[in-house]
Amino acid sequence: MTVSLASVVIWLIIGHIAGWSAGEVTRGVGFGTVGNIIVGIIGAVVGALVLGALGVDPGGFVGEVIQAFLGALVFLALVSIIRN
């Protein structure tokens, strides 16, 4: 599998959108650009695992952003539980 520059840029964009959105929902503010991207990419992995186990295929850019957002919410909830 080869990774192109375009796919990396798309991962970064999806990660940033999902991380920022999840930060807004959970904290009322984002995590900064790098933090948003990290939370969003981790969220994309978590979302893919959860939705994949349920047999849901998000399809398309918007679906991938929603999947990453939902995964980021799950990830941030788990981090919150562990920290408290």
pLDDT in tens, 48-82: 999 999 999 888 999 999 999 999 999 999 988 99
pLDDT digits (tens, 9 = 90+) for 9-47: 999 999 999 999 999 999 888 888 899 999 999 999 999
What amino acid is encoded at 23 in this protein? G
The tokens for 1 are 């599998």
List the domain boundaries for the chain: 5-83
Q: Tokens 């957002």 sit at which residue?
A: 69
CB 44 within 8 A of CB 18: yes
